[in-house]
A and B are shown apart, each in its own frame.
Chain A
Amino acid sequence: DGGITQSPKYLFRKEGQNVTLSCEQNLNHDAMYWYRQDPGQGLRLIYYSQIVNDFQKGDIAEGYSVSREKKESFPLTVTSAQKNPTAFYLCASRPPTGGRADTQYFGPGTRLTVL
């Protein structure tokens, strides 16, 4: 049963704490993405990775960090430097070249709330 999993589904954080959101895929996709979704603002790209051990900043990378040590895993850390971290976070992956190589497949999301 292939897919993308994100954990936890809900996460609460106190101000000043770092938290790490998990994203795992067993689709054998090389490219993975992290988005943030806020009401009225659509999907905004935080970081993306085209291949293991490589990643690039997206449009709103400040206050976030990632790693890509394994093909299957792309964790996102929300640091205390992120001024307004309360949001819905979505992880996605993309098939390799050929066919629908432009599409992205999403996980179920993690809702982060800062208390």
Chain B
Amino acid sequence: QKEVEQDPGPLSVPEGAIVSLNCTYSNSAFQYFMWYRQYSRKGPELLMYTYSSGNKEDGRFTAQVDKSSKYISLFIRDSQPSDSATYLCAMKGAGNNRKLIWGLGTSLAVNP
């Protein structure tokens, strides 16, 4: 079993839909959770960063962490065609030298 599981999709939604992207993990030591967005043939860019449990909102994006269920989510409201990309979750435990553990990424297409 992988430490981080992420459905690769592809996920296709109409413009304006609410998108829910998810990752599950097995290591209860993970404390730092990130979502990256990667456009085709580009490097990933950090979208959301969350420490421990709870919600974090930034514009149309909301990140949720449920440590009791070992489950993290990224919600995109009012999705736009420009949101079409691959979304990768990443996480790590405490300690500055610990490596990031990555999900496989979910491919999202928002159709006009």
The interface of chain A, by Cβ under 8 A from chain B, is 4, 6, 40-43, 45, 48, 50, 58, 88, 90, 92, 97, 100-109, 111
A42 engages B105 (CB within 8 Å) = yes
Closest 7 CB pairs of A and B: A106-B43, A42-B104, A102-B32, A43-B102, A106-B44, A108-B43, A109-B43
CB nearest to A91 among chain B residues:
B43
Sorting the interface of chain B by its residue count into under 10, 10 to 19, 20 to 34 or 35 or more gives 20 to 34
Residues of B within 8 A of A88 (CB): 41
The interface of chain B, by Cβ under 8 A from chain A, is 8, 32, 34, 36, 41-46, 49, 88, 90, 92, 96-97, 99-100, 102-105
B interface: dominant SS? loop
A-B contact count (CB 8 A): 48
B46 engages A103 (CB within 8 Å) = yes
Residues of A within 8 A of B92 (CB): 102
For the complex, give the distance between the alpha carbons of A28 and B36 in Å: 22
Residues of A within 8 A of B88 (CB): 42-43
Most chain B CB within 10 A, of A41, A88, A102, A109, is at A102
